[in-house]
Amino acid sequence: MSWFSKEPEQQQGPDKVEMAKTEVEMMTDLYNKMVDSCFSKCIANMKEGDLSVGEMSCVDRCVHKYLSAQEVVGSKTKEMEASMMPNGPQGGS
């Protein structure tokens, strides 16, 4: 029991933290996959150890496009999930 804490942390604390944790995990996972995909799409040769100008702009476009694609697939997935359970969402995230 902590009588010196200012806020009531017991009630809804863990849920929020768990949600934030999951979010961070999802983000890193997404990021790693994106980097890997953009590497395979944008890097044509290993003549140099640095990114060429062309590769740099490819990476820029790739990141933007990958994240847009993620949104498209995400909203489509939500739609499908919603139509699959007509009784209303139950704890889906």
Partner 1 sequence: MTSLGELSVREQAELMKHVDELQAKDGVKTFHNVVYRCYDHCVASLRSSKLDAKEVACLQRCQNKYMRLHQRAGLRFQEYQQQRNAPTPT
51 contacts partner 1 (rule: CB under 8 A):
yes
CA distance 31 to 29: 5
10 contacts partner 1 (rule: CB under 8 A):
no
Tally of CB atoms within 10 A around 35: 14
In this structure, what DSSP letter does residue 47 have?
A: S
Question: Quick one: 61 or 76, whose CB is closer to partner 1?
Answer: 61
Question: Quick one: 46 or 84, whose CB is closer to partner 1?
Answer: 46
Q: Which region among 21-29, 73-81, 83-91 touches partner 1 (by CB under 8 A)? A: 21-29
CA distance 78 to 7: 35
81 contacts partner 1 (rule: CB under 8 A):
no
CA distance 13 to 19: 10
How many residues touch partner 1 under the rule CB under 8 A: the total is 37
54 contacts partner 1 (rule: CB under 8 A):
no
